[in-house]
Amino acid sequence: MTSGANMMESAATSGRVNTPAVPVTSVGSEIPITNIYYLLCYAWDVLEEKDAIADVDTLDSTDLIDLFARVLVNGTRRLLRRGLDRGYLPREDEILGVRGKLLVTQTLRHNLLRHGRAACAWDELEYDTLPNRILKTTLQRLHDAEELHAATRADVHDLLRWLAPVQGLELHGEHFRRVQLHRNNRIYAFLLHICEFVHEHWLPAEHGGARRFRDFLRDALPKLFQNFVFNFFQRELAGKWQVTNPHIYWQLDESNEDARALMPRMETDVCLRGDGRAIILDTKFYAQALKAGSYGTPKLSSANLYQIFTYLRQQSNKPGWDQAEGVLLYPRTTRDFSVDFITHGHRIRALTLDLAQPWKKIHQQLMGIVSNEHSCLV
């Protein structure tokens, strides 16, 4: 184990960092790698790790698998510089002398004492912890992926040598739930998010052979977009606005037992309270935000409008929510739009957010939702 520790301590000085920003294809638009990275950092609430772990502006690949591999490479190097986390792991063996707890029955059964040996159980401080195993297993999986950029594969290969004291494992979802993070190993949080994300989108290849990385954009972006918007406002409006996502219950003047048991609750994405205003914001992620109406004319989704209006009306009996605003937020696909109207005392907006634009403009556009910059009322 000593040689492994020395290898780990010197790992940070080896390795290459060569990575230019290029876009990846999303539903109806192109989202730059940098913006994908920011979305993840906000959605996972690990924004502090963004610049410390990876400079995605220098990534020279169009594939998300290279983004995740680069983040893990840079993050692992950072771990090696500070020292990988170690933990006390149970060990049991027949050894010379006695260490830890003497296993009397096993010692006598094998007549070990006559040879100066004993069966013992003890705890040993080692690098072979569950977080390190998950990290190594994921790096190995990325290394074996056919679509990984050659330069990134070489960096991953170098790191796997430094992680020799750590064993791999047959990774399952339950392993992530078993990880216990504390103040001393919180640095692992972001990296384990990446590992879990890769695990969830890793599929066996057809006819056997190497596994492949499934394009997560189609499957994961709707939930990612929702979490991103919530955490963005929670972080950027901290101390000024209250940001929550409460359940809204139906206002029932009279109801029978079935009504009380079967009426669904309404689950909001983002609720904002501040500056004398209340806003219910619902994120929508579709390949096409507008639907074909009569004669092919594009229209907003009736279901989306009914939903946000119902939220507003059912919440209106709460103090401060009688004139709440509603916002439907769509990623831009084929065109921008900014719908703004008032009905039954509630202002409702349907807005697009272009995730392909520079991050500074995305930030400004989101902040404009609470600063009335989107208003087109006259």
Same domain (yes/no): 169, 303 = no
Q: Are residues 300 and 182 in the same domain?
A: no
376 falls within a domain: no
CA distance 277 to 310: 18
Structure tokens at 378: 């006259």
| Residue 304 pLDDT level (bands cut at 50, 70, 90) | very high
Q: Answer yes or no: do 38 and 115 share one domain.
A: no
Same domain flag for 268 and 340: yes
CA distances from 139 to 194, 211, 225, 245, 345 (A): 11, 13, 26, 35, 55
- Asked, for residue 378, whether it belongs to a domain, the answer is no
Residues 18 and 149 in one domain: yes
The whole-number average pLDDT for the span 341-353 is 95
Displacement of CA 176 from its chain's centroid (Å): 13
Is residue 208, in this structure, part of any structural domain at all?
yes
Q: Which pTM value belongs to this model?
A: 0.73
Report yes or no on 317 lying in a domain.
Answer: yes
In the chain, the number of structural domains is 3
Residue 92 phi, psi dihedral angles, 5° rounding: -145, 125
Q: Higher model confidence: residue 19 or residue 160?
A: 160
Same domain, yes or no: 53 and 152? yes
Query: Last residue of a domain, which of 214, 237, 254?
Result: 214
Q: Write the burial class of residue 198 (CB in 10 Å: 0-12 exposed, 13-18 middle, 19+ buried).
A: buried
Regarding whether 199 and 138 lie in a shared domain, the answer is yes
Q: Give percent of the chain with pLDDT exceeding 70.
A: 82
Same domain, 232 and 321: yes
d(CA 305, CA 349): 10
Check pLDDT > 60 for residue 306: yes
State the alpha helices, DSSP H only, in 1-61.
2-10, 33-43, 50-53
Q: Please, which residues have CB within 8 angstroms of residue 351's CB and are 6 or more apart in sequence?
A: 327, 328, 329, 330, 337, 338, 339, 369, 374
- 326 with 198, same domain: the answer is no
| CB-based burial, 346-369: b 16+ in 10 Å, e otherwise | bbbbbbbbbbebeeeebeebbeeb
- Mean pLDDT of all residues in 200-205: 68
Note whether 79 and 91 are same-domain residues: no
* Residue 377 maps to a domain: no
Q: Span 137-165, mean pLDDT?
A: 90
Range of the domain at 105: 87-126
* Token pair listed for 335: 């065109």
Averaged pLDDT for residues 216-234? 84
- Same-domain check for residues 190 and 314: no
Q: Which of 72, 95, 126 is where one domain is finished?
A: 126
SS3 103: coil
User: Could you tell me if 21 and 34 are in contact, meaning their C-beta atoms sit under 8 angstroms apart?
Assistant: yes
Shared domain for 283 and 180, answered yes or no, is no
Average pLDDT, stretch 169-182? 88
Q: What CATH number has the domain bearing residue 309?
A: 3.40.1350.10
- DSSP secondary structure letters along 259-302: HHHHPPPEE-SEEEEETTEEEEEEE---S-SSEE-GGG-EE--H
